[in-house]
Chain A
Amino acid sequence: MTSLDSTQQSRAKSRPLPAFTREQWVSLILLAGLALAASVAHFAGEPYFVDLASRIAIIALAGVGLNLALGFGGLVSFGHAAFFGLGGYTVSVGAFHAFNMTPILGIDFLPAGSDQMVPLWITAMSVCGVVAWLIGRISLGTSGVYFIMITLAFAQMIYYFAVSWPAYGGEDGLPIYIRNQFYGLDTTNSLVFFGLSFALLLLALGFCQRIMAARFGAALTMARLNPVRLATAGVEPRPIKQVAFVISGMITGLAGALYADLNGFVGPSMLSWHQSGEIMVIVILGGVGRLCGPLAGAILIVLMETFLGGLTEHWQFFLGLIILMVVLFAPGGVMGLLAGRARHA
């Protein structure tokens, strides 16, 4: 014990290259594997599989967002489709108005939309941030099953709102005719689009790791493990959770923005509770509260959907079985299986 302590201390002093933990190795392999698969598929002339890799990266990004609330903050949100869909709609609506050269929402003094990804992403994240703040403000007063129900209720409200708003396609959704632009890059090239999605996934992962290691993360962890201890230490748990929920919604919203451009389409299904469930399944399958858990979950889900779905229509039955197995026998999810129990410093 003491020898371990002293090695840790000397390591902190001299700061050599930090040794990777097993979880970090697994994460690195998953990330590298995804990037490699996309590149190989591209140069083999299989854009379909490159898009599949983009889909994995984007769904993983949505999961990274939810994981911040659900995994790190213990906030079981069953309404993250609200952010995923709003992100998607923001991009779609922006592109729609840019295409038609009409002002946003039909309000004259607002600018026409944009076909540039960066402003669209920023707008999508801002919209999701504001909505997450409002939802969090109301729902964070509750906990447990009530929190789940309130977040679900808000997402459903937004879903029905989208369905009943004919200006943006209502039930039929809204297509994006030309994929939005990222400065000089050819975003219609599958590999370029994958690169953008992958880069944003990496950014989000790095950001989450950083804030979870910082004071905010320490407070959020304590808010999840023991809110009474946090308050007794002099930190109000609720604002901490509120901020985590907002960041979480913004990241998932960014994923929705990318997803709309990937599919060239956004529909109310992106706002539906099935979508919330899918993001949640990704997080739980991958490993709740593990940084790269959502990536592992997204890889598993998308591969199953594609390959099992190719074999049988009833692939979701097998998905159900796998979820059951994970919950019963591997509560740490795929990440838990591959990298062992989560460790807290």
Chain B
Amino acid sequence: MPEAILSIQNLEKSFGALRATQSVSVDLVPGEIHVLIGPNGAGKSTLIAQIAGTLLPDSGEIWLDGKNITRLSVAERARRGLGRSFQVSSLAEDLSVKRNVMIAVQALQGSSFRFWTPVHSDPSLVGPALEALTRMGLDARADTPVAELSHGERRQVEVACALALKPIALLLDEPMAGLGPEGTAKLTLLLEKLKHDVPILLIEHDMDAVFRLADRISVLVAGEVVAHGDSDAIRNNPQVREAYLGDDRCSA
């Protein structure tokens, strides 16, 4: 098995008596999509927050590309190549799509303490931003304010922002949430291509997309990884079917 790009080791997080994360170990190897699934309240968001750096774990370690990033800030993690998208889109609504992506390019190039050269005509910023947008099929919308985008387009801009960082690992939190079947199909296709460049840790509820995309699946229940394996193994795991899939299939 190849060396893991992102490795989460024995992560623990408690809120009072609630053990939201119980010795979770997950890793991400090059070229794969590793999907995290779990019912509501399983602790997915808490886990994501710890990986992304908004929440400090009680114990355990997070390694990115052979370096311990457990205690680094969100921005520092991003600079080291951890791209993420949010469950609820987090973009600057008033700014154009291009501007939202450009800020990531700017960070990638180094210091933001540059006071003189205007950004709007700086090809070293605009170029890579448009490239990331083109990759998501959004180049035609580059100058549109985010506020005027559809829900699905916003999700794609989120991914484009993450891509503009030239990440070495991607953390996508329910990118399909709220997308219609068409949008989901489109994004599924994109992620399938994308994984060969950047391995993706994906949190997703859409089971068809999960089984289609996943190279490996980890099932999180009550803060614990209860099952781990490829799509077939998870689909046929009686424990998982009982705890999770059975209900979800009915409601979906």
Chain A positions near chain B (C-beta within 8 angstroms) = 1-2, 4-5, 8, 12, 210-211, 213-219, 221-222, 225-226, 228-237, 239-240, 243, 344-345
Which of B84, B95, B117, B145 contacts A214 (CB under 8 A)?
B117
> At the interface, is chain A mostly helix, strand, loop or mixed?
helix
A233 and B104: CB pair below 8 A? yes
A231-B78, A233-B165, A235-B107 are known contacts. Are A216 and B112 too (CB-CB below 8 A)? yes
Q: Min CB distance, A217 to chain B, in Å? A: 8
A225 and B95: CB pair below 8 A? yes
B99 and A232: CB pair below 8 A? no
A213 contacts which chain B residues (CB < 8 A)?
118-120
B78 and A229: CB pair below 8 A? no
A233 and B107: CB pair below 8 A? yes
- 15 CB < 8 A contacts A-B: A8-B143, A215-B119, A217-B119, A218-B103, A218-B106, A218-B112, A221-B92, A226-B90, A229-B91, A232-B90, A233-B103, A234-B76, A234-B107, A235-B75, A237-B75
Q: B21 contacts the other chain (Cβ, under 8 Å)?
A: no
Q: 12 extra interchain contacts, Cβ-Cβ under 8 A, other than A218-B99, A240-B112?
A: A2-B140, A210-B115, A214-B118, A214-B119, A215-B112, A218-B112, A221-B92, A232-B86, A234-B75, A234-B108, A234-B165, A243-B113
- Give Cα distance in the complex from A226 to B88, angstroms: 13
Which of A230, A235, A345 contacts B96 (CB under 8 A)?
A345
Which of A211, A219, A240, A344 contacts B95 (CB under 8 A)?
A344
A234 contacts which chain B residues (CB < 8 A)?
75-76, 78-79, 104, 107-108, 165
Q: Min CB distance, A143 to chain B, in Å? A: 16
B125 contacts which chain A residues (CB < 8 A)?
215
Q: Min CB distance, A19 to chain B, in Å? A: 14
Interface size grouping (class) on chain B: 35 or more
B107 and A5: CB pair below 8 A? no
B116 and A214: CB pair below 8 A? yes
A5 and B74: CB pair below 8 A? no
Q: Min CB distance, B18 to chain A, in Å? A: 25
Nearest chain-A residue to B122 (Cβ)? A215
B118 contacts which chain A residues (CB < 8 A)?
210, 213-214
A232 and B121: CB pair below 8 A? no
Which of A1, A214, A221, A228 contacts B114 (CB under 8 A)?
A214
B115 and A216: CB pair below 8 A? yes
Q: B247 contacts the other chain (Cβ, under 8 Å)?
A: no
A214 and B121: CB pair below 8 A? no
Q: B100 contacts the other chain (Cβ, under 8 Å)?
A: yes
